[in-house]
Every structure is written in structure tokens, then in C-alpha cells.
Chain A
């Protein structure tokens, strides 16, 4: 049909013609296009590339044979995780204390200065002991672990190891009706669950992507590590000789991570059997060649892009949270602060879960950012009007066990609850943005919380039934 210059064909006419011509091409048309593209590519590449010798993938193969080997594959993975967490635990302690004392010294000086200027106590309190202290705490607690954790993680990422993790774990995800690439998004979740939710875009099937989004929160993010590390150090490590204390602490954190992975798999399975029913979709995963990481770039990207980015986000939420904490702790009804009233109100429910009211209050205040759970808790326990610096380990144990009735059950359930509760506000918002659905965002928030209640209630009941507490 020659085009008519005075009367160009309209769109429907063209479409009809395309339909008609398609009939002449047969069904394997698309196959044919791709095949001829690749055949042409092969010819051109053969002309342009000359290989000297045949040792193309030797190096990669040798590494791959070890890291994905039937015997060593999974243990190597776990060991690597344990080592990374262990280095984070032992490396972060000293700088954390240093930063904390520095920042708190600034606070004390500033407060004194304000006082000398005759500024009312509540302004000084609100600004310095509320907002500033919230910021200082979050920076001191988060910066060192992240500055240690992220470069190590980025190193593995740049190396090309993460797809091998997905490769190793895929058989589990397959059984759960999910996609092996979910392992990649979980790895991102260690850094930040919101980042993990965004990373699920690598999964093509909408069903499997939703599963990955809804379960990402079962990987404890960096902001929750301080809680886990503190509990691991105070309760678990204390049961071991000092030489092994840090290993025991890291081991208990690894244990929590493994429990998180188990929950991810079980919940993925349950979702794919109920509201997200369907078969596993096509699984194709590229295992890229190993690349020599560029150390300067790793340091730069992990420190600037990740650490400071996450820190900045935490700071944004910590400042208002610090203000709220200060207000709650300094407004008294009767002789008791507002914070204490709320904690008392929540206490029966908290005890039912093997926790207490103060812990629940801390988790409500910490919805914007999980990092401030521990400081808030300590503030209410000590009855001080501001978030409190971590006392020495022995003092801490005395405070929690002797004065506030903590048991091993409280510690274990708090570790479980740190893993299994609603995601932080940023993550919930990110889920909403990625799914464009309030329903999925709500489910993403309530599902882990519900599971957290059930699990802690169960462990508490079992412990009480057997008279362990």
C-alpha cells in the first residue's frame, strides 16, 4: 500500500495493517527476531575479539567452586556474616563512647552557658537535653557501627559475592514460593529496610516482589543493631568468660539474624499460600564475574552515600523524637511524669508479652527511628528528665535486673521484639510509595507487629508454664 501524500493513513488503519501483516509472519516471529539479533552479534563479535589461550573464567570458577560448594557454601556465608557483625561489635564500642562523651560535654557546656545567660530552664532543657541529646545519642550509637559495617558490606557487594548468596539460598526461597533475588534485597535490608524495599525492584514478578517487600522488615536493620548488641553484651556475653564475651555477643546477634531469615521464609511461604497465591515465576539470576573492588571508592561510597545518608535520615527523625521524649519526661501529672503514666498504663500488656510497659513506650516513641529505643527505655527507668547515657555494663545489669525486674525472658523477648515489630516510619512510607497502596503499607506494618506479639506471648507463656521465670 503506497502512502498517499494528501491523505496520510490514520492510526487505526496502520494497526489494522500491522495485524494483517502479523498473520503472514507466523507465531515464532519474536523468537526469530531475537535469534537473528544474536546470530549477527555472534558474527560481529567473532570478527572483533581474538582470544589468546583459553583461561577465561579460571579465577572466577575457582572462587565460585568454594563459595557455592555443597559443603562450604552455607557455612562460609554464615561465618562471613558472623565475622562482619563481630568486627562491628568490638570495633564500635570505643569510638561510640568517645563520640558520646564529646557530644555530651558540648551539651553540658551549652546548658551551663544558657543558664548563665538567665534563659529559663525549660528552654535549655527542651533544646539541649531534649532535641540535642536525642541527636547526640543517635550519632554516637549509630555512626561507628555503620562506619564499620557498611564498608565491609560494600566490599562484598562490589566483589560480586551477593548474587552468590542468592544462588546458595534460592532453594529455600523456591520452597517458600518466592524469588531467590529476595536474598539480595534482604542483604540491603541489613543496611536499611527502606533501601531493601526499594531494592525489590529487581524482582520482575509483582507477586514475588510484594512478598519481598512485606517480609523485608524481618531482617534487622542497622538502627536495630544497637539494641541487639546491648542485650547480647549485657545478658548473653556476661554468661561467658571475658575472652569469649565479644564472640558470644556477636553469636547472639547472628542467632537473631538467623531467626529473622527463618521468619522471612515462613512468612513468604504463608503469603504465597494465601493472599499472594501463585507459582514461582521464571528464575534467572546473573552471576557476574568477580571484580577487584576499588578501595577508595568503597570507602567513599559506603561512608558518604550510605553512612551519612542513613545517619542524616536518623537525625531528622531523632530531633523531634528527642523533643517528644523530653516533654513526656518533664510534664508531671501528680508526682509522676507523663512518660511514667503511659508506661504504667502499658505495663500489664507488656508483662503479658514478657516485656514491660517501658519497653512498649520506647517502641511507640521510636516509630520514626528505631535507634532511640534503648536511650528512651533507660531514661524512663532512671526517672531522669533526659535520655541517658549508657552506664557501665555492670550498672546497667543492676539497673535492669535488680531494680526493674528484668529476667532472661525479658532479654530474650526484647531481642525477639527488636526483630519482630512494625517497621520504622520511613520504611512504611517507602512501602506505600513502592506499592502505591495503603492496604499493602498497612499490612507491611501490622504483619510483623502481630507476629511479634504472638511470638513474645508464646515464649512468655511457655517460660511461665515451665516455671523458668
Chain B
């Protein structure tokens, strides 16, 4: 995590002026500047956070897998408009079940500017598995450690600074239900999106053979699709025999991805220049 100081207030902030910088836009998605994806295990309060941010009252039942397609909403923070995409809750991105494919494809091909992984503070170990899988695909990750209130009630003390240090990405304690920590989360997202925070995602090492194989394959992918942000992950997927990634490679979709992304970057900076926002 960068040494950037987060000086913004973190506790219940509905009354302080900073909170008013969040403007819920519900479904008005015609014109947005940035895309943020919400990933997370089932039952981590992902949909609650989605509702808090967008103002949409999407229903959130407490049973596994209730969000099966992705929901979209919008919010505005510090005059930048974000599209928020709520991905299906999954334990992993490897199994290729229907919901996992929706989530994975969006993070890989939808190229969100930032992916927020919502985790359950009371079952962190299980949740970090997904965090690390997401960090393999993209490095613009913010971990939202949700249900902090629940954790306190159960006598759990979660040290998010230790977490951020180990993971190499920001980890923000929140309680989506009461709104605790939402402002800090938003400003962290903002900083990750415009590069003020540089993340250094932790990645698993694996066996020596595995490392050798990845080291051999990843440069080939980078050469075939210059600028691809996740050659390492793609290499792992190819080693695992992921049919979808194989197809994307054969059809040239991977190379397209990269150009699409850089075009979006140009457009955004142009817009910023014209409207004088920073």
C-alpha cells in the first residue's frame, strides 16, 4: 500500500460535509466516467453496500447465490461519476459455474477501473482466497472489510493495516448497513482509480516448477498482446487449461482488450482536461 495518508473521517459521517460529496444516482447510467466492480463471497453484504452507494433498493436476501446476474447502478463522488457493477457472490473464480463466469468475465473483459472486493470480517480467511484470485487478474483492487460491527460483537479485532500491508492493496474497515467507513472507502477508490495510490498486489509463489512454467509462458503472452495487464494470470489460466481464455487468445480478443483500455484512458483524460476536474 502506498504511504498516502487517509486523513478523512471514517466514523458515521452522514452529518459532516464530506459525506454530501456522495450523490446516489440510482439507475441513471447514461454518462459515467469510471467503472467500479463489486466482487465478494456470498453473504458478505455486497448488495447492501451496492444499495448504500447507488441508492437503489435492490433486494438482498440472506441466502447463497441470490444475485445471479450482475446489477448496475451509479453514484457521483467528488464530481466524478461512477458506474457500479454488482457481480454475483462467489467463493472463487476458478470453477466456471455460471455465476463465477459472469463475475470473472466482467473483471477480465469489462476492465473495471477499480474492483472492490467485499469481505466478511468474521470469516476473513475464506474471503481472502477470492481477494487473491481477483488480485491475480487486476491490480486495481480495494478490499472492503465489511461487517465490522458484527465482528466486534463477536469479540473479533480485525487489523486492516496489517491486512493492507500483507495484501499490497488498501483494506478499508466498513459496516455497509450503518454507513460506517463508506466515505473512506469512496476516497480510497478515487485514489486508486486516478493512480494516487499505487497497489502492489501480493501473489502466490507456488512450486518451483509452477514458477518456472509461469515465467516461461507469461512473456510469450506479453509479446503476443503487448500491454496486457495480467499476462501472469492468463499464463496460469492457460496452464490450467481454461477453455475461455484459450478462445480469447485464439480469437484475438485479448489484444483488442488492451487497445480498448488505452482508448478509454485517453478519452477520460481528455474529458478531465476539458472540464477542468481533478
Contacts and interface: CB of A to CB of B under 8 A. Distances in A.
Interface string A1-40: 1111100111111110110011011100110111011101
Given A8-B224, A52-B156, A288-B64, A40 B236 contact: no
B18 interface: no
Given A25-B213, A41-B132, A288-B63, A301 B57 contact: yes
A53 interface: yes
Contacts of A202: 64-66, 68
A154 to B, nearest CB: 7
A439 interface: no
A286 B43 contact: yes
Contacts of A158: 60-62
Contacts of B65: 181, 201-202
Given A3-B219, A304-B57, A306-B59, A201 B68 contact: yes
Contact of B166 (A10, A21, A47, A199): A47
Contact of A162 (B61, B150, B236, B250): B61
A25 B209 contact: yes
Contacts of A163: 63-64
A46 B240 CA distance: 29
B12 interface: no
B239 A18 contact: yes
A285 interface: yes
Given A18-B217, A47-B166, A52 B61 contact: no
A48 B220 contact: no
A159 interface: yes
Given A40-B204, A52-B155, A14 B124 contact: no
Contacts of B158: 48-49
Interface of B is mostly: helix
A18 B159 CA distance: 40
Nearest to B98: A201
Contacts of A154: 59, 61
Nearest to B254: A11
Nearest to B236: A33
Contact of A29 (B69, B163, B240): B240
A4 B63 contact: no
A45 B157 CA distance: 11
Interface in A161-178: 162-163
A30 B61 CA distance: 33
Contacts of B131: 41
Residue of B206, B217, B239 with most chain A CB atoms under a 10 A cut-off: B239
A51 interface: yes
B177 A13 contact: no
Given A201-B65, A204-B97, A21 B224 contact: no
Interface string B195-225: 0000000101111011011001101111110
A48 B122 CA distance: 12
Contact of A17 (B61, B204, B216): B216
A33 B240 contact: yes
B216 A1 contact: yes
B132 A14 contact: no
A67 to B, nearest CB: 14
A204 B216 CA distance: 35
Interface string B229-258: 000000110111100001001101000000
Nearest to B119: A45
Nearest to A24: B209
B62 A49 contact: no
Contacts of A198: 68
Interface string B108-136: 00000000000001101111110111000
Interface string B151-168: 000111111101100110
Interface string A422-464: 0000000000000000000000000000000000000000000
Interface in B6-31: none
B181 interface: no
Contacts of B159: 47-50
Contact of B223 (A3, A42, A50): A3
Q: Mostly helix, strand, loop or mixed at chain A's interface?
A: helix
A254 B69 CA distance: 33
A121 interface: no
A295 interface: no
B250 A49 contact: no
Contact of B59 (A5, A291, A301): A301
A160 interface: yes
Interface in B49-93: 57-66, 68-69, 92
A15 B250 CA distance: 9
A11 B246 CA distance: 8
A42 B241 CA distance: 27
B42 interface: yes
Given A14-B224, A37-B204, A49-B159, A25 B210 contact: yes
A62 interface: no
Contacts of A47: 159, 162, 166
Contact of A291 (B62, B128, B205): B62
A12 B250 contact: yes
B99 interface: yes
A224 B53 CA distance: 37
Given A48-B160, A52-B155, A37 B132 contact: yes
Interface in A406-422: none
Contact of A14 (B62, B156, B249): B249
A8 B159 CA distance: 46
A323 B101 CA distance: 45
A9 B220 contact: yes
A52 B63 contact: no
Interface of B: 42-43, 57-66, 68-69, 92, 94, 97-99, 121-122, 124-129, 131-133, 150, 154-160, 162-163, 166-167, 177, 202, 204-207, 209-210, 212-213, 216-217, 219-224, 226, 235-236, 238-241, 246, 249-250, 252
Interface of A: 1-5, 8-15, 17-18, 21-22, 24-26, 29-30, 32-34, 36-38, 40-42, 44-53, 55-56, 154, 157-160, 162-163, 181, 184, 198-199, 201-202, 204, 285-286, 288-291, 294, 297, 300-301, 304-306
5 contacts: A10-B224, A11-B250, A159-B62, A199-B66, A286-B43
Which 10 residue pairs are nearest across A and B when measured between Cβ atoms? A3-B223, A41-B128, A202-B65, A45-B125, A201-B68, A157-B61, A18-B238, A52-B155, A160-B62, A288-B43
Given A9-B223, A37-B132, 14 more contacts: A8-B226, A18-B238, A18-B241, A30-B94, A30-B240, A32-B206, A36-B206, A41-B127, A48-B163, A48-B166, A201-B98, A289-B122, A291-B150, A297-B57
